[in-house]
Amino acid sequence: MSVTRAQGFRAAGVAAGLKSTGAPDVALVVNDGPSTAAAAVFTSNRCRANPVIWSAEAIRTGSARAVVLNSGGANCYTGAEGFQLTHATAELVAELLSDGGSGPRAENGAVGAIDVQVCSTGLIGLLNDRDDLLAGVRAAHAELSDDGGAAAATAIMTTDSVSKQAAAEGSDAEGRTFTVGGMAKGAGMLAPALATMLVVVTTDADVDAATLDTALRGATRVTFDRLDSDGCQSTNDTVLLLASGASGATPSVEALTEQVTAVCHDLALQLLADAEGADHEIAIEVLNAATEDDAVEVARSVARSNLFKTAIFGKDPNWGRILASVGTTGAAFDPADLDVALNGVWVCRDSGPGESPDAVSLEDRAVTVTIDLKSGESTATVWTNDLTHAYVHENSAYSS
């Protein structure tokens, strides 16, 4: 179900002592090829962690042989020493793969640090212990296996209550099957771009870096970028897509995008379901917008309304709060002609009372909000959650 579902990948997850709980905290994913094509998207936050700064430059080659990830400390705003630790981590992985790995090699017979993507998650301002982290990398390398995806997914968890894994299969024009697998972490600060998360997606399709980049950006645009838990943006967001080429399948960009999107959508909804302290997962669908951008803007405005989200927590079908949020946008619509449904009950018709709100049940975790702008043919969905007492508690006590 995870990153090792696709052929050509090994992974591991180990405990290095970065977490005070002793839980697994270092993961390693290795691409044994024959291809090492890769693509990535990163947080749009201008305040970026050291691993994001490193990885964004390294991925310019269009190749990645491995990804090393740690939880416990974000390695963000840790000064020059923090960046040096990121570099040292990448160098160690490259050294280990050059000495004892298999698969593609650079021209000089060795894997270079630039072939290694680095990801970190945890508390900002915390410098991970160098000796513990590098020892964890060595231990993870020793544990690499083609069924190590589940252990890797566990090792990247922070406030997550469960690990997140997904997989999908497709075929190319000749009927050859390829697989896409993935793992993710994230349970709070879920907001564009990408949500506060680390995601590694793998495929055994034989495609180049440009095709991967197109597929990944197409997938994240309609999945992770539309996950908006609390409007707060992280410094460490990273989504990677690696291709081994091991299946021999050569899918079109459309076929690859479909399966990458399926995996990203699955992972995004798992992130939403694990949002810190949430009682409800809310899908906000906007219909008949003039443009897709309008639809996204309206849905996101509702998703970021604390008044709306607390109403859902209180099981109050207060559709007035939805209209109030719609009105703050620049989307094209007639304020006197809007329809709103909650869980299929059209409580607002033509910007006035519709069916009785008493018919709306908000007892189940899943909530659907439908907004009809009556201005065009475009649609979009943004996913969010309610805000609860538990959310306040978890995020006020995060660093204690």
Catalytic residue among 36, 158, 179, 196: 196
Going 40 to 101 to 119 to 122, the CA torsion angle's sign is positive
pLDDT band for position 100 (cuts 50, 70, 90): low
Rounded CA separation 77/176 (Å) = 46
Write the pLDDT tens digit of every residue in 252-311.
999 999 999 999 999 999 998 887 778 999 999 999 999 999 999 999 999 999 999 999
- Quick check: helix, strand or coil at residue 86? helix
CA angle 190, 37, 256 (to 5 degrees): 65
pLDDT band for position 102 (cuts 50, 70, 90): very low
pLDDT band for position 44 (cuts 50, 70, 90): confident
What is the pTM (predicted TM-score) of this model? 0.91
Name the least confident of 44-48, 110-114, 120-124, 233-237. 233-237
Burial label for 163, CB within 10 Å (0-12, 13-18, 19+), is: buried
For the chain, the average pLDDT equals 92
Q: In order of start, what are the domains of the chain with their CATH numbers? A: 9-273 (3.60.70.12), 281-396 (3.10.20.340)
| 155, 69 contact by CB (below 8 A) | yes
> In this model, does residue 399 exceed pLDDT 80?
no
Write the pLDDT tens digit of every residue in 69-99.
999 999 999 999 999 999 999 999 999 999 7
The whole-number pLDDT of residue 188 equals 57
263's torsion region: left (phi>0), alpha (psi -120 to 50) or beta? Answer: alpha
196 a catalytic residue: yes
Rounded CA separation 199/287 (Å) = 30
Write the pLDDT tens digit of every residue in 53-68.
999 999 999 999 999 9
The whole-number pLDDT of residue 103 equals 43
pLDDT band for position 356 (cuts 50, 70, 90): very high
> In this model, does residue 20 exceed pLDDT 90?
no
The whole-number pLDDT of residue 101 equals 47
The token pair that represents 91 in the structure block = 């160098």
> In this model, does residue 52 exceed pLDDT 90?
yes
Q: Span 158-174, mean pLDDT?
A: 94
Q: Span 125-148, mean pLDDT?
A: 96
Rounded CA separation 52/92 (Å) = 18
CB atoms within 10 A of CB 307: 13
Write the pLDDT tens digit of every residue in 143-163.
999 999 999 999 999 888 899
The whole-number pLDDT of residue 388 equals 86
The whole-number pLDDT of residue 232 equals 72
The whole-number pLDDT of residue 110 equals 79
